[in-house]
Amino acid sequence: MTRPEQPTLTSSGHSHVSAAALHSLSGHRRPSTLKSQDAADDLDRELFAFAFAFGGSRSWDPTDTDDPRSPPAHLGAIHRRRPRSLAALSTSSMDSDPKAMDQTDQPSAIAAAATSKAAPKVPNSLEEYLAPYAHLVALQTHPNPSRSDRVLVAAKDFAPGEVLFSEPALLDSAHGIAQEFQPVPMDECFIAHDYQRMLFEFIANQVYSPDSPNTTLLHLATRSLSTDGMTSDLAAKINADRLADYAAGIKVFREKVKKRLSRRAVKMVGPFPTQDSLLQLLYMIETNVHAEELPEAHPLAASSRRQSDDADDEQEEDHCALGLVASMPDHSCVPNAQVCFFPRLTGPKRYTPPASDDEDADIPEHTHLLFTALRPIQAGEPIAIAYQENSCLPTHSRRMQLVRRGFACNCPMCAGQVPDFARAVACVHCGGVGVPSSVPVSPQDVEVVDDGLEDEYGDPIVDIQFPPVSASSASDIHCASCSTLLATPAQLDLAQDRLLTDPEIRMQALTRVLDVFSHHIPSPTASEGLCARSLAHVITSDCAKDPELAALLTVDGVTPLSAAHWLVYDAVRRVLYFDSDALDRDMHLPAVMYLVASNYATIALATGGAPGGVGGDEEEDRKWTRTIAWNGDVLHNLKWLMKTARARGHVALAQWAADRGVEASEVMGVAGKTSGVEDEFKGVFSRPRESIVFT
Ligand SMILES: C[S@@+](CC[C@H](N)C(=O)[O-])C[C@H]1O[C@@H](n2cnc3c(N)ncnc32)[C@H](O)[C@@H]1O
């Protein structure tokens, strides 16, 4: 769950979280309606049947396939919290060994069954846990001397689309036991429901199954994982109110859970976690968890929708999962990897307790966190994903979002090692661009100002400030093609600031953007001819053709591409999101295509891709499509578009989105296939097109 500031379209109105995003902000959600949930005090009978069957004093060897409590054979290696490293230690089966990952067809390798009966050795240290992954990835101290934390690097070369590694989740809000937990209402305990489920899963393991491999691994995770997204000096300053809410919330949560559990006649054989250890666990979850939106058909989505009727959407849940290796990649604004959940969470799968000890339990499938390469990665290179899809945001906004996660980003783009395309400026003379480097910001440069203002809940509103880039040694920006001086750093700061913050410009842009998309962009019938790279022209050419919009996007002769794009993107999003009838108007197709593609096309434009005309050069098109496809939000927007267009009877538009979806997920390689996204697009329309029937 991240609640990204960069909005993407969803049918639910809920900010989308790509699977690649971390969950760090989701805990801070206030219900607007307070409600009592006495009924929630009772845990389902099934939960206890489950906890008893898989924990307590009864020994259970998860690899013993004769044990009725073991996972059904078809789930194979994907079973409850037994990491792949264990499978590798206990069996020579290639299918269950991460070493086999780069030699086999990934999906089948992941899904294949492990049948070894050898007793697993439970890793007791991070080194032991990482050993089976050693030929793929390695954990090192950070090469940047200003950082005291660790970084995950590639142990070999990887090609785009190749699986880097796959790890079964240690904690998963969709595990049976977590799903069955009835969260404490947020007005009593201010901790997001999905986080509460994970905390509960940890507690259930500890108290019912203290000696199990799962519990050992969970303790290893709590010893090994960082909490600094919440506890670093910077995070503590910025998240002061959330830290206070969490401290109070964890106390209530612990008391409630303890009371609920002790009311039952099931013996707790392990110690109940202390308040401090649960608080640390919550910080650890928030710093490291991965999340995706729950599929609509999933029971948790349905229950959170029901709750959100009264609570103004504040309690919507995500599917959250936590791994150990999966917690190690850095964030980068120019990521070289992405993560997805595998297998895809489909609803409505729910744990059904076995009627007797002789029957197999129906255990929900085990989520793996599957990492794939987006670009060629060389051995020794740090593996970095985008904690949030922010690459297209102007430098200042991008940094601000990451500071809210507790760190000042020093990825290659933020540290000035590669050009910062978010500071690109359009050249009015030759149509080219100028792209400067960015200037690094250290945590000490970040000022947190408390003006005494409070939000509607009485929480302080803190203002985060960086020194402007122009105050540093940033150099002037020249056009890469004709060398014209385009802007000084101070002029660029000013222009970006105006475009991003002036409400009047926003309002004017909304009207003009509608006009531009209705008149200047090729009509829907020309959709076949539109390709990703043609959309890069939107700002530098199409928007510029409208004198009023061009004037709006230019401040004192400077057109900052990223901020201009953001203004247009935001206007389009508002029109489509709040006025779905816009889909019925002429502007719909180009506008949506712009929405889907433009930010990524802008990236490519600024990083060296030279957009040609419309279509024509297949090689060039592929390159651009690839650039665009390497982003989870694109798939998300396409899915939204496909469904909405289909519901409204726009066959061609829905088909366009479905085709782009298949294309994009193919480009994303294994991740697209294993996450099921590709099937989702393919499954909606059966070819040939003429036979499409809308229901
Ligand atoms: C999910 S953890 C990553 C693993 C962490 N490096 C460790 O040693 O456990 C997230 C933390 O790593 C650090 N981090 C990740 N990406 C970073 C970046 N681009 N710049 C600075 N710090 C980063 C921050 O401290 C952040 O809170």
Rounded Cα distance between 106 and 199, Å, is 31
User: Would you say residue 411 has pLDDT above 70?
Assistant: yes
Residue with the nearest Cα to atom 12 of ligand 1? 330
Q: How many domains does the chain have?
A: 2
Contact (CB, 8 A) for 461 and 358: no
Task: Tell which residue, 323, 370, 375, has the closest CA to residue 671.
Answer: 370
* Same domain as 376, residue 291: no
Output DSSP code: residue 185.
P
User: Would you say residue 489 has pLDDT above 50?
Assistant: yes
Distance 669 CA to ligand 1 centre (A): 26
Is residue 675 in contact with ligand 1, taking CB distance under 6 Å? no
Reading the block at residue 94, the tokens are 């290639």
* Same domain as 283, residue 380: no
To the nearest 10 degrees (0 to 180), the angle between helices 395-403 and 489-501 is 70
What's the maximum distance between 2 C-alpha atoms anywhere in the chain? 79
Is residue 323 in contact with ligand 1, taking CB distance under 6 Å? no
Is residue 327 in contact with ligand 1, taking CB distance under 6 Å? yes
Strands (DSSP E) contained in 315-459 are 318-322, 330-331, 337-342, 368-373, 384-385, 425-426, 433-434, 447-454
* Same domain as 208, residue 292: yes
The answer as to whether 230 is a domain residue is yes
Contact (CB, 8 A) for 180 and 363: no
Distance 691 CA to ligand 1 centre (A): 50
pLDDT digit string (tens) for 68-103? 222 222 222 222 222 222 222 122 222 223 333 333
Scored b (16 or more CB within 10 A) or e, 669-692 reads bbbbbbbbbbebbeebbeeeeeeb
Query: Mapping DSSP to helix (H, G, I), strand (E, B) and coil, where does residue 68 land?
Result: coil
Distance 668 CA to ligand 1 centre (A): 25
* Same domain as 282, residue 217: yes
Report how far apart, in Å, the C-alpha atoms of 622 and of each of 183, 531, 627, 639 are: 47, 9, 9, 21
Provide the residue type at 463 as one letter.
D
The answer as to whether 236 is a domain residue is yes
Q: Which atom of ligand 1 is nearest to the CA of 405?
A: 27
The answer as to whether 212 is a domain residue is yes
* Same domain as 186, residue 158: no
**Pocket perturbation via mutation, ligand 1, pick of 407, 413, 414 by most ligand atoms within 8 A of CB:** 407
Distance 331 CA to ligand 1 centre (A): 7
Highest mean pLDDT among 69-78, 255-264, 368-377, 444-453: 255-264
Reading the block at residue 664, the tokens are 């994009």
Write the burial class of residue 596 (CB in 10 Å: 0-12 exposed, 13-18 middle, 19+ buried): buried
Is residue 410 in contact with ligand 1, taking CB distance under 6 Å? yes
* Same domain as 264, residue 195: yes
Residue 341 belongs to domain with CATH number: 2.170.270.10
Which backbone phi and psi does 434 adopt, to 5 degrees?
-120, 130
pLDDT digit string (tens) for 605-644? 444 443 333 344 555 555 544 444 445 556 666 777 777 7
Provide the residue type at 12 as one letter.
S
Contact (CB, 8 A) for 639 and 670: no
Task: Tell which residue, 88, 90, 96, 133, has the closest CA to residue 113.
Answer: 96
Q: Which atom of ligand 1 is nearest to the CA of 235?
A: 27
Bridge pairing between strands 368-373 and 163-168 = antiparallel
Answer yes or no: pTM beyond 0.90: no
**Pocket perturbation via mutation, ligand 1, pick of 232, 290, 330 by most ligand atoms within 8 A of CB:** 330
Q: Which atom of ligand 1 is nearest to the CA of 149?
A: 8
* Same domain as 208, residue 276: yes
Rounded Cα distance between 597 and 593, Å, is 6
Cα 185 off chain centre by: 25
Distance 330 CA to ligand 1 centre (A): 5
Is residue 435 in contact with ligand 1, taking CB distance under 6 Å? no
Do you know the residue count of the chain? 695
Residue with the nearest Cα to atom 20 of ligand 1? 409
* Same domain as 289, residue 176: yes
Is residue 150 in contact with ligand 1, taking CB distance under 6 Å? yes
Distance 386 CA to ligand 1 centre (A): 12
| Domain around 293 | 170-301+317-322
pLDDT band at 439 (very low <50, low <70, confident <90, very high): confident
Write the burial class of residue 39 (CB in 10 Å: 0-12 exposed, 13-18 middle, 19+ buried): exposed
* Same domain as 242, residue 174: yes
Q: Which atom of ligand 1 is nearest to the CA of 411?
A: 19
| Residue given tokens 């578009």 in the structure block | 641
User: Would you say residue 156 has pLDDT above 90?
Assistant: yes
Contact (CB, 8 A) for 253 and 315: no
Distance 24 CA to ligand 1 centre (A): 12
Is residue 406 in contact with ligand 1, taking CB distance under 6 Å? yes
* Same domain as 236, residue 195: yes
Rounded Cα distance between 378 and 150, Å, is 18
pLDDT higher at 225 or 61: 225
Residue with the nearest Cα to atom 24 of ligand 1? 407
Bridge pairing between strands 384-385 and 330-331 = parallel
Rounded Cα distance between 622 and 672, Å, is 17
Reading the block at residue 30, the tokens are 């206030």
Q: Which atom of ligand 1 is nearest to the CA of 225?
A: 9
pLDDT band at 247 (very low <50, low <70, confident <90, very high): very high
* Same domain as 194, residue 153: no
Reading the block at residue 578, the tokens are 């709040």
Write the burial class of residue 447 (CB in 10 Å: 0-12 exposed, 13-18 middle, 19+ buried): exposed
Range name among 227-231, 327-331, 509-513, 550-554 with the lowest pLDDT average: 509-513
The answer as to whether 99 is a domain residue is no
pLDDT band at 604 (very low <50, low <70, confident <90, very high): very low
* Same domain as 210, residue 149: no
Is residue 229 in contact with ligand 1, taking CB distance under 6 Å? yes
The answer as to whether 174 is a domain residue is yes
Reading the block at residue 629, the tokens are 């496809």
Is residue 645 in contact with ligand 1, taking CB distance under 6 Å? no
The answer as to whether 267 is a domain residue is yes
The answer as to whether 238 is a domain residue is yes
User: Would you say residue 664 has pLDDT above 60?
Assistant: yes
The answer as to whether 235 is a domain residue is yes
